[in-house]
Structures are given as C-alpha cells and as structure tokens.
Amino acid sequence: MTALQILFIIVAAVTLGAAVMVANSRNLVHAALWLIVSFGGVAVVFALLNAAFLAVAQVVIYIGAIAILLIFAIMMTRHITGEKTARFTTNHILALLLAIVLFAGLVWMLLGWSGSAALAVPLDARADPVRQLGAALVAPDGYILAFELASVLLLGALIGALMIATERK
Amino acid sequence: MTIESMIWLIPLAPILAFFIIVLFTNRSKWLSHTLAILAALTSAVMVFWLISKVLSTEHFGEHPIQSYLPWFPAGDSWFTISVLVDPLTILTLFFVAVTILMIFIYSVGYHNFGAPKGDHDRPGLQPHGATVSDAHGHKHTVMSIEPMYSRFFAFFGLFAFGMYLLVTTGNLLVLFIGWEIMGLCSYLLIGFWFAKPSARAAGIKAFLTTRVADVLMLLGIAYLYFATGTLNYKEIFVPEVLEGLAATPAIGNILGLSAAGLIGILIVIGTIGKSSQWPLHVWLPDAMEGPTPVSAMIHAATMVSAGVYLVIRFFPLLSAGWDGHGLTAPMQLMAFIGTFTAIFAATIAIAQNDVKRVLAYSTISQLGFMIAALGIGGYIAAAFHLMTHAFFKALLFLGSGSVIHGVEHGVLHTGDHIDPQDMFNMGGLRKKMPVTFWTFLVGGFALAGFPILTAGFWSKDEILADAFIHQHWPVFITLAVAALITAFYTMRQITLTFLGQPRTKAAEHAHESHWTMTLPLVILAIFAVVIGWAGIPEEFPVLGGILPNVVHVVGESLPEHPEAIPFNWLPLLTSIVVSLGGLFLGWLVYRNVKAGQPDPLAKPLGPIWTVLKNKYYFDELYDYIFVRPAKWMAEDFAIWMDTNVIDGILHGIASVGPILGSFFRNYIDKPIVNGFGDWIADVTRKMGVSLRVIQTGRIQQYMLMALVSLVAFGVVFYLLLVQ
Amino acid sequence: MIPLSWYLIFAAALFCIGLYTVLVRRNAIIILMGIELMLNAVNVNLVAFWRYVNPQLIAGQVFAVMVFAVAAAEVAVGLAIFISLYRRRNTVAADEVDLMKW
C-alpha cells in the first residue's frame, strides 16, 4: 500500500461519505454544504489523475457557482412554516435496493473486465495536459466547434433561466 | 240372346228403376210407381221364361246353367264371378219374383195413391190424414198420400236388385254384395219415417245387429277363399275340395274344428244375424216400425229368407264330413239354434198385442223351423218350407197392413185416438173387410199347418217327418210343441182381429181396402193353398203321386241326392193333431173377449205372462251389456281421452317449448352468455382500476419503475445472451 | 500503483449514491444535487479512462469539459424552473407535483 493508494482511499471515503450525507440530510443547507465537500473530494481525485485544469475548474464551477446557486435556490424556496416534512418518498427502500443492486452489478462487471487491473502509464515529462487541452479547445481541426456550441448552450441556458424565473406581473 | 247371358240381366230392371226414379222421376208419383212395377214385372217375366225353359230339362240338377265372368285380377290369376241356375235357384227365384211383384202392386194402394195431401204431413212423418169436405160441406178426415212416395219405390227397386243378385249368382262374394245391399235397404226402409225417433232407432238397431253377424260371416268367406282359392259354388262343392276342407284342422285348431267346420259355423252365424235367430233376434220385432210392405217383403218373404237360402245353398260345405249319423259342428249349431229359436219366439208371440209384432215373432219362429230342418239334414224340407213360408207370411203381413189401414180409416173418421195396430182395439172385422178376412184366414191356416188344404201343412209335415225318421227326438218334440203354439197364437190373432164384435168405434167404421191392396192378397192366397201340392211326397197315402213332386227336384242340386223319406203315420198324426188342436184352443180362449177386457191368459199365467210380454227382457239385457258401454265409450270415454290425454299430450309437447326457452334464457343465456360478456368488461375495469395506481404522476416513482425494469431486463438479457 | 478498477468502482459508487438521492428525496433541489453527483461520477469515469487508456488523446478531457458546461447550464435552468414552480404551487416537493398522469 503506497501513500498514493492510502491518499486515494481517504479521499474516496470522504467524498462518498459526504455524498451519503447529502442523501440523508434533513436540513437543506447542510445538504448543500455536504455537497460542497463532495465536490472538493472529486476535485482532489481529478488532481490525482493528472487533470490539473479539471481539478481547478471543478472547484471554481461546481463549488463556486453551482453550489452557491443551489444555496440561493434553497433560500428562495424555503417553506415559511418550517414544519417537518418527510424527507423520503414512499418507495425509498426499493430505491435503496435498486442502488445497491446496480452498484453490485456494475462492480461485478468491472471486475470481470480484464482491462480494469491496468495501472497508470507514466506521463511524458514534457507533456503538458493543460496546454494540450487549451490548444485542442481552440484548434480549428480540434474541438473549436464543440467549444463554441457549448458557449451557445450556456447562452441559451442563461436566457432561458431568465425567462423562466422572471415574475410576470 | 242365350239363356246364360239373360240370367245376368235379371237383376238389371229394378236397379235401372232405382236410378231413374232417384235422378229423374222423383216428383211424379205416378211415373215412379209405374216404373217400379214395370221393372218388377220385367224381372218376373224373365224368371218365368227361365222356369219354362228349365222345366223340360231332364235331371236339371246335374246340369245347372252356369256362366262365368272374370272380374278383377287377383295375384297371378283373375277373380271370376258367375251365375248359377240350378233347382234351388229356380225355387227361390220363383217365390221371390211373385212376392216382389205382388208387394210392389200392394204398395201403390198402401201409400194411398190418389188420396189428397195430408194437412200436417211432412216428408219423414207417417201420413196423418187430410180434411176434405163433401158436397154438403161436412168435414171429415180421410187417409192422405205418403209424401215420400217415389223414394219408397226407389228403395224397393234397389232392394229387388239386391235380392235378385243374391239369388242368381254363383259366387259367394257377389252374394255378400247382394246381402249387404239388402241390409242397407232394410235400414233405409225401417227408418223410412225418419222423423219418428223410434223408427230411426229401429233402423240403427237392425243394421248394427246384422253387422255383428256379417263381420263374422266375412271372416268365414275370407277363410274359405284362403283355403280353396275360389268363391264360386261349383268350384267349391266338388267332393275332393269338400273332403279336403273337412280333413284339414282349422287355423289354430279352434275347438278342434276342421276348416269346413269353422267356415261353416261362421257362415251360419251370418244367417243367425240376417234371419233374426236367437241371440241376434232383437232387431226384427223393432223393424215393424217400417211401413207394412217393407215388413212383408224384407222381413218376411225375401231378406230374412236370404239367410236361410245361404245355409241351404252351402249345405254341402256345412255337412262336409257328415256320414249320415253324427251331425257336423255347423249342423249341430243350426239344429240347436233353430229349434231353440222356434219355441222361444213362439212363446213370445202369444203375449203380443200388436198385430205386426205377432207376425214378426212368427217369422222368427218359422225361420227357426227351417234352420233346424237343415241342421238335422233335411235339405229338401228346409227349401220347401222356405218357399211356402214366403208366400203365406207375405200374405199375412199384407193382410195385416190392410187391417191397419181399415182401422186407421176408422180412427180418422171418428177422431177416436187409439192405436190402430193393437188387436184388442179390433174385432168383428170379417164383416167390414171380407176379402181381407178370407185371405188372412187362408194365410193363417197355412201358417198353422191346416192339413191337406194349405201349403204350410205339407212343408211343416216334411220337417217333422224328417226329424222323426232320423230319430232326432229333442228336435222333433220341440218343433211339434212350437207348431202347437204357432197354431194357437195364429188363431188368437184371427179371433181377436176378425171374429166377434168390434171393440172400438174405429173398428166399427173400418171398410175394405182398395183393389191394389186386395188383389195381391187374393193372388198370394191362391199360392198359399196351391204351392204345397207341388211337394206332396210320393209315398203319401191316397194323394201321393197325383201331382208330380217338383220340390224334390231341389235335391238334385246336391252332389249326393238325398233319399226320399219313407212315409210314417206318427209324424203325420202329430202334425194334424198339433195344428187342429192349436187352432181350436186359440178360438176357444179368445172368442169372447170384449172391449176393455184384459187378455184371458194374463191372470192364469201370471208372472210367466209378464216375462213373455216383455220378450224375456232380452232387449234390456243387451242394452245393459252392449249398448250402454258402447255409448259410454263413444260419449264419455272418447271425449275424456281426447280432452285430457290427447290434448294433455299436445299441451305437454307445447309446453316443452316455453320450458326449454326459459331454461335456456335463465340458465344459459343470462348467466353464461351475458355473464361472460359482463365478466370480461368487469375484469377489464378491475384490471384498469388496479393498474391505474401505477400512474401516480410522481416522477421519482416513474424513474424507479423504469430503473427496476432496466435492471431486470439487463439480468435477463445477460443470462440469455451472454451465457 | 492505483489500478483503474479503484477509480471505476469509486465512480460507480458515487453514481449509485447520486441515483439514490434522485429517487428518494422529496425536495426538488436535493434531487438536483443528486443529479450533480451523478454527473460528477461520470466525469471521474471519463477522466480515469483518459488517464489510463490513452493520455495522449486529449478528447477525454475535452469531453469532461463539455460535461461541465452542460451540468452548469442544466442547474441554472432547473433552478429557474423550481423557482417558478415554487411561486405557483408554494412547494418544491416532487411528490406534490403529480401532473404527469392521464
């Protein structure tokens, strides 16, 4: 057991634990906070995977934007009465069962796949994933189209959200 | 035209007269009776011509005139009919022709031809008198003409046809046809005055009683045809055939009889019905409801004689196997029935008051004599008595008709409402109606058997002699006693009717009848005297042999000629004593009966008299045993059967429909068919109701369901495809 | 050192927890959080495969970037809808919005 492995295990446990807390939290704000922890964990995992840009982007976008937005939404849709409403739906046992079965299935399938035991190939010292990513995103024979479409998507979402959320008089 | 073909034509004239009168001349009384009498005359002339031709033939009995005609196909061959004229036929034809002609002429006067139409007369009622006023304006009632005059002569013509047919034919089936035609005419003529209920009932009674006998006779005829394959006399009365019939046992070996015995008995039963013997005698006295010419012809001279003619004709069959000593079964039956009936009817006759009833029972009794004679083997005696009886009985009936007319006239004249037929209302008529009296006397003496001078003596003596010689003592003694009683009641009748003083005003006013009535009486009276002399036995002292014995020629009809009976004094003396004694006694007892007095024999005989007067209560007995059950069957039982059983079955069958229908409707259609449809709808609805729960509208549940299905499918596919 | 399977199992677990959250919680915003968790798990999966199978091919990271963008857009619009819904129905419980029937 190398240090990397131990590190990974700790990070995974924290992330998964936070995710479970998100699922079980009664207080909505607590759930959002646990979500932030979870996002953080995922960012660390990205870092472990040598995807530096994504790790930072994760923190900035997810924690910085999405989680905040969620907290805003929680604030705006709070029940004024504040009474205890049920957390779970009626079929939560079945859903739990389903999740477990699905997880078991996935794990069993993955372990049966020969490629899952592969180890990481050491990266070239000169290779710079960030630079590569940036170049790929704007290269005309790369992914510029996807990049531009993504921005159009974001524009559309922006406008759409505005339209939907506007109070009509 | 040969003799053979002429014989076929003898019955033709009367049937032509019948059709012409019925179809064309019904309205004209004169034309009708002339036609009828001409027809009778034609047939009579043909008969006499035939007799003249035949008398010259030697041994005519062995060479009878025959003629055959194929009639209809039967199986492989043809059924042939024939005419046969042998001595028996000649004898019968002779008296039939004469009596028919005489009675036709008599009927003209009897039905008052020329008299005015009655006041209240209608077809169907006896004529009741017409009121006429004479020159001074006095009204009195006279006899009126019969409204159904032409119909009477038409029926008589039909009847004459039937009788001629029966006598001339040589075939048993044609005889039966003639037999039945006469039965029909008897019914029609007994019920001639059909508006009278008693006449209608009497007609039905006659027909049904003779029908009983006729059915059995038909069985006999059928059996005979079955056994021999033919019904022609000359083909049956062949010794080989007869011996064969006598040797074969009857079908089913009934009573141990031979075939000939059974056939014979059945044929004798036919005669018992037709000739009104005991026990089927009940119809003849009631038949007196018909007009007197009917009684004379049908019920004295011809139809009832036809029964005796039949058994005489069939004597060879009835006596098949008779060896001269023990009588065969049919002969025993005839001997018993004949003898019994003779004495039975004679005893009833002495207690009757109606002049025609006495004669009716007398006829039954005399027919009994004939049948008894045949039963003991007296072929010639029976045939002889048949002929003489026809003449004197016809004479007596016609005479009684004349008497009744005379008293009727008196009844209408004086308005005295008495029964013109009751002898106790008569008396002293010999002065008022002399011709009738003398002819009636001749006839009565003939009936009683007055010695030598009357025909009845010769024929009755022959019968008694036959019985005596062949030592049938019971028959001889009984017939002798019956002859005594016959003479007694005959003299009773003559005394009450003609002798003494008139007992009623109507009798005082009686007068002699028209010549159309008295002429036949005279002619018949002559025959009643003379005809006996044609049969005087050869061996008779003094008188035998003077005149040829024509009657004995009848014996030649048989295959074996019967031998002449040797003369014996005892039966002769018995005949004489019985006849004269009876006549004398009758005159003695009844000569002083005054008006209003009861019958002199009523008190001495007491209860016996009542039994005799009521005819031994046979009518009541038959009513109880046969008529009432038949009526119950027809009226009550048949209606009950129809209404309850047959209609019940029909209703039952009909009710099957609704029951089945309601069963199908309520137990199959509604629950099963409708129910199935309703059940499908119900199940669908319930399924919908239960499945509807799935659609909650909650997305998370939809997702959950989708994912669960996905996992399930995944597992299934993995297991199926990957493994 | 760390086998690929660890990353993949980690991603699977995260994904299943996210799925569980989506299916079970009544509050719509928590459901959205669950969706985000699932998207994160997908991203981890993508990047792990990029790193272990072919790090030269940058398309793996580009894909992950796109997923980022989509997730962000989706959250924005989703929350806008929830707010609009809250204004109408005064609730954001998924249970109570059962209009998707008949």
- Closest Cα of chain C to B715: distance in Å? 18
A95-136 confidence digits (pLDDT tens):
999 999 999 999 998 998 888 778 877 777 777 888 888 999
Residue B238 pLDDT class (50, 70, 90 cuts): confident
The chain A residue lying nearest C21, using CA atoms, is A23
Find the range with the poorest average confidence among B174-188, B335-349, B585-599: B585-599
Residues of B in contact with A91 (CB under 8 A): 700-701, 704
Residue B289 scores a pLDDT above 70:
yes
Give the C-alpha separation, B136 to B442, whole Å: 42
Give the C-alpha separation, B543 to B545, whole Å: 6
- Closest Cα of chain A to C97: distance in Å? 13
Looking up tokens 């209920």 gives B197
Per DSSP, B169 falls in state: B
Under 8 Å between Cβ of B679 and A70: no
What residue type is B593 in one-letter code? V
A3 in contact with C at a CB cutoff of 8 Å?
no
DSSP string, B592-626: TPPTT---TTHHHHTHHHHHHHTGGGHHHHHIIII
Distances (CA, A) of B183 to B287, B313, C75: 12, 19, 131
- Shortest CB distance from A8 goes to which of C6, C80, C81? C6
Largest CA distance in chain C: 55
Exposure of B687 by Cβ count < 10 A (0-12 exposed, 13-18 middle, 19+ buried)?
A: exposed
pLDDT of residue C101: 77
CATH architecture for residues C4-90: Orthogonal Bundle (1.10)
Distances (CA, A) of B162 to B147, B383, B552: 25, 20, 27
pLDDT of residue B220: 93
Per DSSP, B533 falls in state: G
pLDDT of residue B531: 86
Per DSSP, B399 falls in state: H
Of B15, B14, B98, B86, nearest in space to B57 by CA: B86
The mean pLDDT of B40-52, rounded to a whole number, is 92
| Secondary element (H or E) of residue B140 | strand B139-142
B707 in contact with C at a CB cutoff of 8 Å?
yes
The mean pLDDT of B618-636, rounded to a whole number, is 89
Put simply, the answer to whether A91 touches B701 (Cβ < 8 Å) is: yes
Output A121 or B707, whichever has higher pLDDT.
Answer: B707
Tell me which residues of chain B, numbers 202 to 231, contact chain C at a CB-CB cutoff of 8 Å: none
The mean pLDDT of A135-147, rounded to a whole number, is 90
Put simply, the answer to whether A150 touches C65 (Cβ < 8 Å) is: yes
Give the C-alpha separation, B668 to B363, whole Å: 80
For chain B, what is the mean pLDDT?
Answer: 88
The mean pLDDT of B469-487, rounded to a whole number, is 91
Of B219, B245, B229, B228, nearest in space to B320 by CA: B245
- Closest Cα of chain B to C20: distance in Å? 10
DSSP string, C52-81: HH-TT-THHHHHHHHHHHHHHHHHHHHHHH
Share of chain C above pLDDT 90, in %: 67
C47-63 confidence digits (pLDDT tens):
999 999 888 888 989 99
| Secondary element (H or E) of residue B142 | strand B139-142
The pair phi, psi for residue B68, each rounded to 5°, is: -110, 150
Distances (CA, A) of B610 to B467, B659, C59: 33, 66, 154
B434-473 confidence digits (pLDDT tens):
999 999 999 999 999 888 888 888 899 889 988 888 888 8
The mean pLDDT of B286-313, rounded to a whole number, is 88
Of A115, B397, A104, B470, nearest in space to C15 by CA: A104
Residue A83 scores a pLDDT above 70:
no
Residue B547 scores a pLDDT above 80:
no
The chain B residue lying nearest A96, using CA atoms, is B704
Residue B267 scores a pLDDT above 90:
yes
- Among A87, A102, A108, the residue to mutate for chain B (most B Cβ within 10 A): A102
Exposure of B378 by Cβ count < 10 A (0-12 exposed, 13-18 middle, 19+ buried)?
A: buried
Helix B197-228 / helix B172-190 crossing angle, nearest 10 deg: 170
pLDDT of residue A80: 64
Find the range with the poorest average confidence among B126-135, B351-360, B510-519, C4-13: B126-135
- Shortest CB distance from C72 goes to which of A98, A133, A154? A154
- Shortest CB distance from A133 goes to which of C36, C53, C61? C61
* Three-class secondary structure assignment of chain A: CCHHHHHHHHHHHHHHHHHHHHHHCCCHHHHHHHHHHHHHHHHHHHHHCCCHHHHHHHHHHHHHHHHHHHHHHHHHCCCCCCCCCCCECCCHHHHHHHHHHHHHHHHHHHHHCHHHHCCCCCCCCCCCHHHHHHHHHHCCCCCHHHHHHHHHHHHHHHHHHHHHHCCCC
Give the C-alpha separation, A16 to A129, whole Å: 27
In terms of average pLDDT, the best of A72-76, B358-362, B534-538 is B358-362
The chain B residue lying nearest A101, using CA atoms, is B711
Give the C-alpha separation, B533 to C24, whole Å: 153
Per DSSP, B503 falls in state: -
- Closest Cα of chain B to A110: distance in Å? 14
A37 in contact with C at a CB cutoff of 8 Å?
no
Q: Which CATH class is domain A1-85?
A: mainly alpha
Residues of C in contact with B703 (CB under 8 A): 22-23
A89 in contact with B at a CB cutoff of 8 Å?
yes
Under 8 Å between Cβ of C37 and C18: yes
Helix B355-375 / helix B379-414 crossing angle, nearest 10 deg: 180
The mean pLDDT of B703-712, rounded to a whole number, is 92
- B255 backbone φψ class: left, alpha, beta (φ>0; ψ -120 to 50): left
Output A127 or B478, whichever has higher pLDDT.
Answer: B478
- Among C96, C100, C102, the residue to mutate for chain B (most B Cβ within 10 A): C100
Residues near B371 by beta carbon (within 8 Å), at least 6 away in sequence? B271, B275, B277, B308, B311, B334, B337, B338, B341, B382
Give the C-alpha separation, C5 to B723, whole Å: 24
- Shortest CB distance from C80 goes to which of A123, A136, A161? A161
Residue B501 pLDDT class (50, 70, 90 cuts): confident
pLDDT of residue A81: 61
pLDDT of residue B505: 81
A3-16 confidence digits (pLDDT tens):
889 999 999 999 99
pLDDT of residue B153: 93
Of C75, C66, C16, nearest in space to C41 by CA: C16
- Shortest CB distance from C23 goes to which of B696, B697, B700? B700
B91-115 confidence digits (pLDDT tens):
899 999 999 999 999 999 899 888 8
Residue C102 pLDDT class (50, 70, 90 cuts): low
The structure tokens listed for B220 are 């006999």
Distances (CA, A) of B55 to B51, B96, B454: 6, 18, 24
The structure tokens listed for B248 are 């074969």
pLDDT of residue C57: 87
- Closest Cα of chain B to A95: distance in Å? 7
B688 in contact with C at a CB cutoff of 8 Å?
no
- Neighbour subunits, A (≥3 Cβ pairs < 8 A): B, C
Residue B364 scores a pLDDT above 90:
yes
Q: Any idea where the domains of chain A sit in the sequence?
A: 1-85
The mean pLDDT of B251-275, rounded to a whole number, is 88
pLDDT of residue B551: 78
Q: Any idea where the domains of chain C sit in the sequence?
A: 4-90
Residue B214 scores a pLDDT above 90:
yes
Residue B179 pLDDT class (50, 70, 90 cuts): very high
The chain A residue lying nearest B714, using CA atoms, is A105
pLDDT of residue B335: 92
Residue B503 pLDDT class (50, 70, 90 cuts): confident
The pair phi, psi for residue B169, each rounded to 5°, is: -80, 155
Residue C36 CA, chain-centre distance (Å), reads: 3
Alpha carbons within 13 angstroms on the beta-carbon side of residue B592 total 2
B152-169 confidence digits (pLDDT tens):
999 999 999 999 999 999
Put simply, the answer to whether C25 touches A133 (Cβ < 8 Å) is: no
Under 8 Å between Cβ of C3 and C57: no
Of B557, B568, B533, B558, nearest in space to B547 by CA: B533
Under 8 Å between Cβ of B29 and B149: yes
The structure tokens listed for C29 are 């915003």
The three-state secondary structure class of C25 is strand
The mean pLDDT of B61-78, rounded to a whole number, is 84
The mean pLDDT of B236-244, rounded to a whole number, is 86
Share of chain B above pLDDT 90, in %: 43
Put simply, the answer to whether C100 touches B699 (Cβ < 8 Å) is: yes
In terms of average pLDDT, the best of B52-56, B608-612, C96-100 is B608-612
pLDDT of residue B242: 86
The alpha carbons of chain B give a radius of gyration, in whole angstroms, of 39
pTM of the model: 0.69
Q: How many CB pairs under 8 A join A and B?
A: 20
- Shortest CB distance from B708 goes to which of A90, A98, A105? A98
A118 in contact with C at a CB cutoff of 8 Å?
yes
Burial call B71-100: b when 16+ CB within 10 Å, e when fewer: eeeeeeeebbbbbbbbbbbbbbbbbbbbbb
The chain A residue lying nearest B701, using CA atoms, is A91
Of B532, B443, B452, nearest in space to B493 by CA: B443
B585-619 confidence digits (pLDDT tens):
888 888 888 877 888 888 888 888 888 888 888 88
The residues with which B74 forms a beta bridge, in sequence order, are: B77
Residues of B in contact with A23 (CB under 8 A): none
Share of chain B above pLDDT 70, in %: 99
Residue A127 CA, chain-centre distance (Å), reads: 26
The structure tokens listed for B682 are 């119900």
Per DSSP, B74 falls in state: E
pLDDT of residue A169: 66
pLDDT of residue B363: 94
- Shortest CB distance from A42 goes to which of C40, C51, C76? C40
The mean pLDDT of B334-347, rounded to a whole number, is 94
Output A17 or B672, whichever has higher pLDDT.
Answer: A17
Residues of C in contact with A91 (CB under 8 A): 23
The three-state secondary structure class of B472 is coil
Looking up tokens 């199978």 gives C53
Find the range with the poorest average confidence among A113-122, B617-626, B682-691, C26-35: A113-122
